[in-house]
Structure 1
Amino acid sequence: MMKLVSLSDINHGFVPKKPTDLFVKPRFRSFPETFHITRSTVFDSSARENLNAKRRRDHLRVGPIFCKSYGDTSKVYQEEEIPKAKLIWRAIKLPIYSVALVPLTVGASAAYLETGLFLFRRYVTLMLSSILIITWLNLSNDVYDFDTGADKNKKESVVNMVGSRTGTLAAAVTSLVLGVSGLVWTSLIARNTRAILLLASAITCGYVYQCPPFRLSYQGLGEPLCFAAFGPFATTAFYLLLGSSSEMSRVPLSSRVFSSSLLVGFTTSLILFCSHFHQVEGDLAVGKFSPLVRVGTERGAFVVRWAIRLLYSMLLVLGLTKILPVTCTLMCFLTLPVGNLVSSYVEKHHKENEKIFMAKYYCVRLHALFGAALSLGLVIAR
């Protein structure tokens, strides 16, 4: 009398917890003849019984199916709606702008340690220019990932949100032109050609990382490029610009400055590495062979754990050899709990896309705090 009902027939996504929760309510219509519904064997092989069952089904109309609702169980089959404000926050990527401030602040602190100078107006100009450069990186990355299909299902992509690839690319190019103008102007004032060459190298790394025809990030070279751009290139360039004055246009490059830039580059690359954990499937689908695509998330979690250990081991060696001031070593070691948080979080949630998304923000927190501690240590050492 009744047909078997599969879960695919249920329109509203409610899932019964047990078979008794599923009710079938037949609705009968009046017919010219009177029919008596009798109990019959469901799996009877008799042809006559099958014929009688067919006749009964012809005159029996079954109404809609009702299931008991269990609150939020329908969310298992429905994608969670992300609030617009949260999408805008993700698209802006405000915490990521720490990668512009940390190299600049560490470079300024190193300049103060070596020369005793702190050029506030020049610092502000370089900060605004750096923010514009990072804006170009973020917007152009969204544009080119949209072109390749890597951001097809990424709701917080700026291109997907505004619905205009051309407008997003125009905003990216404008940010690049304004940012480069500020950097060149400051370099001319400081009369330091080494600095502008280093900054040009950093921007070139950003371009070949994501822009056609290079797109070296698709070959798994994003992390080395990120390390060079924000570490030795940008941090050293900012040191040169903020340590130069009318009396001293050529400031010396010391091992303290270089080692500080290596630490900045290391923590910045860690952000990029962890930002790929929740994108492995999408990257693989479009041929983007990031390091995590190549090694998998389980080995990636292992890499993160040892990268954190390597970071603090480097810090200890630089402190013991007195390449870095002891104040830098002590201040930076105060961030060790945050480093352990990053390692344990990635190790625990590397298979859960919804949770591992937060790993890059924990890395941003480590990057910002480590950079602030390093800068403070350099200033105190003066």
Structure 2
Amino acid sequence: MGTGAVKGPVYTIRRILNVLWFWAGATRAAFSSASMVPVALGGAVAASHGSFATVPFLLSAAGVLALHLGANLVNDYYDFASGADEIRDDRTPFYGGGTILVNGTLDPYEVSQAYRALFAAAALISLILAVSRGPAVVALGLAGFLCGYCYTAPPLRLSYIGLGEATIGLSFGPLTVISVYYVQAGRLDAGALEALAASLPVGLLVAAIVFVNEFPDRAADSACGKRTLVARLSLRTAAAGYAALVLAPFAVIAAAISLGWLPRATALTYLAAPLAFLGIRNLRAAYGLSASRRAAAASGGYVASCQVAASLFTILLHLAVGLLLSLGFMLG
């Protein structure tokens, strides 16, 4: 009897952990730095102006995370419905579409119920924060929901008409940073201008993450009518566009510092610049070849390895720039 009493709770905890682990994989929670970095940045900007409350900050983080993970499931649901995920044969954790529906791990109904639950949780958090911070919190949360849902869902299907990259950049850049700042400060004041300036580099870099991961999906996206920017451009032009996306944040930061919109300590972000050049180098190595040489290289896995490296360096660049910006605000 005593042994059973010990095993029961342990078994229950293991089951709970297994369920959490499963849903973390299904929602691609491992890539939540895309949303958590701007949350941290918004909090850092507010703290530098003497406005920081732990509970509202944690609620903001939970709400943004729920919206992000819900949007990931919406993306899987509608990409599967359009056939985009089924015709991809080169999947990695970075690109190639979701696998939970293609592999039959979950069915569409289960996925739809999961993203509805996540969106409901985000809505509840918005309402809780609105009690103390005002109805603007609900409006900001609604804007985040619309960006996440309409990214792949009809009728807008923004990612299918070449607006997906800008939508993600706006959502996980200005919208998230300013929303978190507003929750902390309770108003949009002079500090909000700093929040906006700080949000632009992270917005550009999260758009770069989406952009770089569209390269290997280019043929599949075109085949199913998903006209991403990479699908619309030549590979050489798209590679140049990627270089612009990962280098532009440093120009924005320099300009904002010179105008007094960012503290001088945010120049720390230049420590992350080598990651941008590593991303550019790997992407050019993969797609800067002639078509014949690229096909030969692909057979040996060269293109895939360079693409994975470019994707990884872009994620690390976004993380590093966001955290160094946050540190810069804390140092003043």
Return closer, same or farther for 1:260/1:182 CA change in 2, 3 Å cut-off: same
- 1:309 aligned to which of 242, 247, 256: 247
Superposition pairs for residues 1-382 of structure 1, below 5 Å?
Answer: 92-114=27-49, 116-154=50-88, 156-161=98-103, 162-191=105-134, 193-244=135-186, 251-329=189-267, 331-350=268-287, 352=298, 354-355=304-305, 356-381=307-332
Against the structure 1 CA distance between its residues 358 and 157, is the aligned structure 2 distance closer, same or farther, given a 3 Å change threshold? farther
- Structure with the largest fraction of helix: 2
State the aligned residue count.
288
Counterpart-to-counterpart distance in 2, 1:90 and 1:316: 38
- Please say if residues 24 and 30 of structure 2, whose CA atoms lie closer than 8 Å, have aligned partners that are also in contact: no
| Aligned AA (1:332) | T
Which structure's relative contact order is higher, taking Cα pairs within 8 Å and 6+ residues apart? 2
Ranges in structure 1 where 5+ consecutive residues have no aligned partner = 1-86
Distance 2:108 2:73 in 1: 10
Give me the CA root mean square deviation: 2.2
Q: CA deviation at 1:379?
A: 0.9
Greater Rg by CA: 1
Give distance in 2, aligned partners of 1:135 and 1:120: 22
d(CA) in 2 for partners of 1:142, 1:150: 9
CA distance in 1, matches of 2:274, 2:210: 20
Residue 189 of structure 1 aligns with an amino acid whose one-letter code is S
| One-letter amino acid of the counterpart of residue 283, structure 2 | V
User: Normalization by structure 2: what TM-score?
Assistant: 0.81
| SS of alignment partner, residue 85 of structure 2 | coil
Gaps of 5+ in 2: 1-21, 92-97, 288-293
**Aligned partners of 2:160 and 2:228 also within 8 Å:** yes
* Paired residue type of 1:177: A
Q: What amino acid sits opposite 2:170 in the alignment? A: A
Contact in 2 for aligned 1:272/1:360 (Cα 8 Å): no
Distance 1:229 1:214 in 2: 16
Q: Which residue of 1 aligns with 2:13?
A: none
Which moves more between the two structures, 159-168 or 213-222?
159-168
Contact conserved, 2:147 with 2:168, CA < 8 A, in 1?
yes
- CA distance in 2: counterparts of 1:163 and 1:153, whole angstroms: 18
Letter in 2 for 1:97: S
The amino acid across from 2:177 in the alignment is T
Tell which deviates more after alignment, 193-202 or 318-327. 193-202
- TM superposition shift of 1:196: 2.8
Identity of aligned residues (%): 22
The 8 Å contact of residues 210 and 216 in structure 1, kept in 2 or not, is answered as yes
